[in-house]
Amino acid sequence: MSKYSEHTDHELLGLLKRGDDNAFKQIYDRYSGPLFLFAVRKLKNEQDARDVVQEIFVVLWNKRRELDLYSSLSSYLYKSVHNRALNIFVHRKYQTSYIRSFEDYLEKYAQDADELLMQKELTDIIDHEIRLLPEKMREVFVLSRKEQMSHREIAERLGISEQTVKTQVKRALKILRLRLGLMIYLAYLLR
């Protein structure tokens, strides 16, 4: 192997094209260290740098027969590391962008889902408390608040006075405020 260390890059490349393992080993020994340092400076990450250098040498070995270099072997190897580092940066950029976008999506829609769930639970609690109102009061209240009927329309429909409707709605609201006040306050705090 020592005689290979005396060969020029051009000679080693010729031997490599013919499948000479020792020529490949000499190229690896000559360039793997400097390429690793170059990759670390570019990538700021030793593991990524090791991976890039390994990939470059795997490609060099796999394409050895059809390799036609128009520049020096050194230039080819450094350019390969540079290009691979750029690809990693682009991949990281898109990956980071995708992750941020996904986090934003989760934050927005998880919050919306939480709010919808809380609204549903609160609506269920309110409906439960409305069902506990006395029958006539409940009927007046539901017509007023859920069906959006005026006091006059409710009075005509049920055959009672507008004042009775007004009183029943007022009492229902007072009862619900008392029963739901603490629950709504707690629900607000737990948001």
Identify whether the C-beta of residue 79 lies closer than 8 Å to the C-beta of residue 56.
Answer: no
Distance CA 134, CA 79 (A): 84
Residue-wise pLDDT tens digits, 75-112:
999 999 999 988 887 877 767 766 777 777 666 666 66
Q: In 132-190, which residue ranges form alpha helices assigned H by DSSP?
A: 135-141, 151-158, 162-189
User: What's the CATH code, domain 2-96?
Assistant: 1.10.1740.10
Distance CA 153, CA 143 (A): 9
Residue-wise pLDDT tens digits, 107-142:
666 666 667 777 788 788 888 888 999 999 999 988
Average confidence score pLDDT of the chain: 84
Fold held by 132-189:
Arc Repressor Mutant, subunit A (1.10.10)
Distance CA 126, CA 180 (A): 7
Identify whether the C-beta of residue 42 lies closer than 8 Å to the C-beta of residue 50.
Answer: no
Domain boundaries, the chain: 2-96, 132-189
